[in-house]
């Protein structure tokens, strides 16, 4: 019976199924051919029909099952009736077989904050760079990111027309992260992943100071963290405001659950309580291993320019 499971594990199990439905919606919107693109604040800040439908699906599905949650989504959508087709009320039973870490076993629904990015990498989605796209559901308690779900709607899409598309990665601090094969970047190499469409002098100065062997410019915070945990990059460096809490909450959990570290450019932990400002105004610095190398190479001029 579901009530015998802790609130946190029930929420993660539900969020997993909801994220899978979200991935299906993302694929359907492209298949139908009308992305419904709206420019928000700039030509690089876009919203599509998929962003809107997925946010409605995630937030409504979670609120229906967990009415006391605080849910913060990226898109500013008007309240209204949600198509029943968008509601997902299933849960991933396999997650419920896992033990809840003891420090989280007594958490109440109203203590949790959920940060939702319905489509991370929207600009890349509109340009057909589909492997950059993720759906992010992050769960925070007492200001700390403790559980996260990342769906990659187009994982495997380059494997041919008969490939099974999509995968869902999930993790809980103290339990682990699942749904992928952990791999480390080549030893002794500094492969830095950074923004594709939001670069500036601060970002390039910071990366140059780290003496990179290779710089990968890709979309999506979720995608960049996946590069770290799958050994394609050794650090994620974004020395600029622009990234938001819904971009980092879920990916941070996955990285921390396997021993990595994600902070702002000063080395401060990011805060995820419901009152916090949404912008990560002091940027993002993350690595699976050797975090201290990258942190020690951030120039003072960059730190001085980015106020937490």
Q: H or E element: which one contains 83?
A: none
Residue 89 annotated as part of some ligand binding site: no
pLDDT of residue 271: 98
Count Cβ atoms below 10 Å from residue 61 Cβ, excluding itself: 22
Please name which of 199, 260, 264 lies closest in space to residue 227, comparing C-alpha atoms: 260
Q: What string of DSSP letters covers 266-279? A: TSPPP---TTS-SB
- The SS3 of residue 162 is coil
Q: What would the two tokens of residue 219 be? A: 């979309």
pLDDT of residue 80: 78
240's torsion region: left (phi>0), alpha (psi -120 to 50) or beta?
beta
Cβ neighbours of residue 281 closer than 8 Å, sequence gap 6 or more: 241, 306, 307, 308
pTM: 0.96
Active-site residue flag, 122: yes
Active-site residue flag, 111: no
Residue 230 annotated as part of some ligand binding site: no
pLDDT of residue 3: 57
Residue 213 annotated as part of some ligand binding site: no
**Which class for 266: exposed (0-12), middle (13-18), buried (19 or more C-beta within 10 A)?**
middle
The HSE-up count of residue 158 (CA atoms within 13 Å, CB side) is 5
Which listed residue (122, 193, 195, 248) is catalytic? 122
Which listed residue (48, 51, 134, 195) is catalytic? 51
Q: What would the two tokens of residue 234 be? A: 């050794």
Residue 129 annotated as part of some ligand binding site: no
pLDDT of residue 172: 98
Place of tokens 């601090």: 173
CA distance 59 to 56: 5
- The SS3 of residue 144 is strand
**Which class for 93: exposed (0-12), middle (13-18), buried (19 or more C-beta within 10 A)?**
exposed
Which residue stretches of the chain have pLDDT < 70?
1-3
């Amino acid at each position: 019976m579901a009530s015998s499971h802790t609130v946190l594990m029930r929420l993660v199990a539900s969020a997993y199924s909801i994220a899978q439905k979200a991935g299906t919606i993302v694929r359907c919107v492209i298949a139908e051919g009308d992305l419904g693109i709206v420019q928000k604040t700039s030509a690089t800040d876009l919203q599509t029909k998929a962003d809107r439908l997925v946010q409605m699906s995630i937030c409504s599905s979670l609120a229906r099952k967990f009415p006391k949650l605080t849910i913060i989504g990226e898109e500013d959508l008007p309240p209204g009736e949600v198509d029943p087709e968008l509601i997902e009320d299933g849960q991933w039973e396999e997650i419920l077989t896992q033990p809840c870490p003891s420090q989280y076993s007594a958490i109440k629904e109203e203590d949790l904050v959920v940060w939702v990015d319905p489509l991370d990498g929207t600009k890349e989605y509109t340009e057909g760079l589909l492997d950059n796209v993720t759906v992010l559901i992050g769960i925070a308690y007492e200001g700390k990111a403790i559980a996260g779900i990342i769906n990659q709607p187009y994982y495997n899409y380059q494997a041919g027309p008969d490939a099974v598309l999509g995968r869902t990665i999930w993790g809980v601090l103290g339990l682990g992260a699942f749904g992928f094969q952990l791999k480390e970047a080549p030893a002794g190499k500094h492969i830095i992943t950074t923004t594709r469409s939001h670069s500036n002098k601060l970002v390039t100065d910071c990366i140059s100071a780290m003496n990179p062997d290779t710089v990968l410019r890709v979309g999506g915070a979720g995608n960049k963290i996946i590069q770290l945990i799958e050994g394609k990059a050794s650090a994620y460096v974004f020395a600029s405001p622009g990234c938001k809490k819904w971009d980092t909450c879920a990916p941070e959990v996955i990285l921390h659950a396997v021993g990595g570290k994600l902070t702002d450019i000063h080395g401060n932990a990011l805060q995820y309580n419901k009152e916090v400002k949404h912008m990560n105004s002091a940027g993002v610095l993350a690595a699976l291993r050797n975090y201290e190398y990258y942190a020690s190479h951030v120039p003072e001029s960059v730190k001085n320019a980015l106020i937490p």
